Amino acid sequence: MNRQSLRLGLFIAIAPVTLVCLVAFAQSGPQPIDPKKQPTRADGLPADLLAAGETLSVGRVTADPGYSLDHLKREIAPTGRVRCPKVKKVRYKGDVIRYHSPVWVYVDFRDRLRLFEKVVRQTAIDIYGRAPRKIRHIGTYNCRRIGLWPTYLSEHGIANGIDVAGFDFGPLPRRTPRAVRKATPKKLRRAFKVRMIRHWHATSGVAHSHHRRFLRLLAARLVLRRDIFRVLLGPSYPGHKNHFHFDVSPWRLVQL
Ligand SMILES: [Zn+2]
C-alpha cells in the first residue's frame, strides 16, 4: 500500500467517527424550549432525588408561562472579552424570606425569586415547623460566559440566575403549636444553618433526617414548578458541590 492510499484509508476510517462526534456535540448543546409543549406529568423529577417511601407531597407540575428574556440571543464568540446585553436590573432584599445580602437581579427574575421564596417557606415549615430567617446566596449578577459552554453567555451575565449555598434558621418561635414543638428534635429547636456542601449528602443524625431531606424536597418541588426556574443544577453537576444554581434560560436543564 502506498502512502496516498494509506492516507485515504485512514480518512475513510476516521471520518464517520468525527461526524458522529460533531453531531453528538451539536445535539448536546442547550436546546430552546417551547413553553406551549410542557409536560403535564411529574416526569421531570430525577428518580434519585428523594428517598424511597418519601411521604411528603412534592406537588404537581405547573405550566411554563413564557419569559421576557426568551428572545435574547445567548450565543457569543468563544474567546475575547464578554459583552453582556443591558437589561433592567433591580436591587432586591427578598419579600417572603430575606437574602443574607441584597441581590442584584433582572426585574422579572425578581418575580421568580418571590415564588421561589414561597416554596422555600412551605418546605421549611413542613420539615422544621418554621421558615428560615435568611437565604444564603453566593452570587447573582456577574458578566461572564458559561464555563462548560464557552459559546454561550451565562445567565448570571444578564442577572437572570442565582447561586444558593444554604439557609439560616432562627430558634423555633414561642407560639409554635405544641405538637410541632414535640415533633421537632431538640437540636433543631434552636438556631441552625443548612448548607449544600455539608448536608446534601448527609448520612446520619438530624443532618440526614432533616437537612438532607429539606434540601432534596425543596429541589423536587422546584423541578415540578415549571413557572419558576428552567435550569436547576446541584452537586451532581461539575462545579456545583456547594450550591444550587437556578436560572430562567430559554432551555431546560435539570441536574441535581
Ligand atoms: Zn450559577
Q: What is the percentage of the chain residues whose pLDDT exceeds 70?
A: 84
Least confident of 33-37, 114-118, 193-197: 33-37
pLDDT of residue 38: 67
**CA 210 to ligand 1 centroid distance, Å:** 25
**CA 208 to ligand 1 centroid distance, Å:** 25
Is 143 a residue whose pLDDT tops 70?
Answer: yes
pLDDT of residue 23: 39
**CA 156 to ligand 1 centroid distance, Å:** 7
40/162: higher pLDDT = 162
pLDDT of residue 194: 98
pLDDT-derived band at 43 (thresholds 50, 70, 90) equals low
Is 247 a residue whose pLDDT tops 60?
Answer: yes
In this structure, the number of other CB atoms found within 10 A of the CB of residue 160 comes to 27
Across 104-125, average pLDDT: 98
Is 16 a residue whose pLDDT tops 70?
Answer: no
CA distance 48 to 51: 7
Q: How does pLDDT run across 173-220, given as a tens digit for each residue?
A: 999 999 999 999 999 999 999 999 999 999 999 998 999 999 999 999
**CA 14 to ligand 1 centroid distance, Å:** 38
**CA 163 to ligand 1 centroid distance, Å:** 5
CA distance 43 to 61: 9
Average pLDDT, the chain: 88
**CA 34 to ligand 1 centroid distance, Å:** 23
Which residues lie at CB < 5 A from ion ligand 1?
163, 245
pLDDT of residue 20: 39
pLDDT of residue 196: 98
Torsion over CA: 121, 35, 159, 86 (sign): negative
**CA 161 to ligand 1 centroid distance, Å:** 6
**CA 102 to ligand 1 centroid distance, Å:** 16
Is 11 a residue whose pLDDT tops 60?
Answer: no
Is 137 a residue whose pLDDT tops 80?
Answer: yes
pTM score of the predicted model: 0.86
**CA 25 to ligand 1 centroid distance, Å:** 22
- Exposure of 7 by Cβ count < 10 A (0-12 exposed, 13-18 middle, 19+ buried)? exposed
